[in-house]
Amino acid sequence: MNQSLLKEIEECREQMISQSQTNTFTSEEVIKVSQQLDTLLNMHAEICANNSMN
């Protein structure tokens, strides 16, 4: 598993939590970080799926 990707996911998750404590969940800032987290999680899922096929 790519440890740097997992670290990036955790950092993005923490950033989203932090943003949501000072902004509404529908604020542009929270949505932007949430979308970044979605992208990272999709990358992780794809890597996991590819690894399970090997």
pLDDT tier at 6, thresholds 50, 70, 90: very high
Q: Are 40 and 12 in contact (CB under 8 A)?
A: yes
CA dist 37 to 6, 25, 44, 45, Å? 11, 14, 10, 12
Considering only CA atoms, which of 11, 8, 3 is closest in space to residue 40? 8
Res 2: pLDDT: 81
Reported pTM: 0.88
Domain containing 35 — which CATH number? Answer: 4.10.280
Higher pLDDT, 32 or 51: 32
- Per the structure, the complete domain to which residue 8 belongs is given by 3-53
Least confident of 1-5, 6-10, 22-26: 1-5
Task: State how far the Cα of 21 lies from the Cα of 18, in Å rounded to an integer.
Answer: 5
